[in-house]
Amino acid sequence: MEQMGLTAKDLEPMIGRLNRVYEVLNHKRPLTLKMTWKLHRGLGIPAESLIKQPEDLHAA
């Protein structure tokens, strides 16, 4: 977000209402497939980086 000069409000079209954006940013809610697709297409973020599991989940 910083690199692109985006605010949480800028992510609303891709994630949903502002409270949902904050939930995603604060890791309280996971990205849905639809959100991932919109972020990928809207911001050019590689889909692989959006769906990659955190390293600590691989060790289970």
Three-state DSSP state, 22? helix
Domain ranges for the chain, please list them: 1-45
Report the pLDDT value the prediction gives residue 58, as an integer from 0 to 100.
55
Check residue 56 and give its pLDDT: 56
The CA distance from 35 to 47, in Å, is 11
Q: What is the pLDDT along the chain (60 residues), one digit of tens a residue?
A: 899 999 999 999 999 999 999 999 999 999 999 999 999 999 999 989 888 766 655 555
In sequence order, which residues have a C-beta less than 8 Å from that of residue 16 and are 6 or more positions away?
A: 35
Q: What share of the chain is helix, strand, coil (3-state, %, to 5)?
A: 60, 0, 40
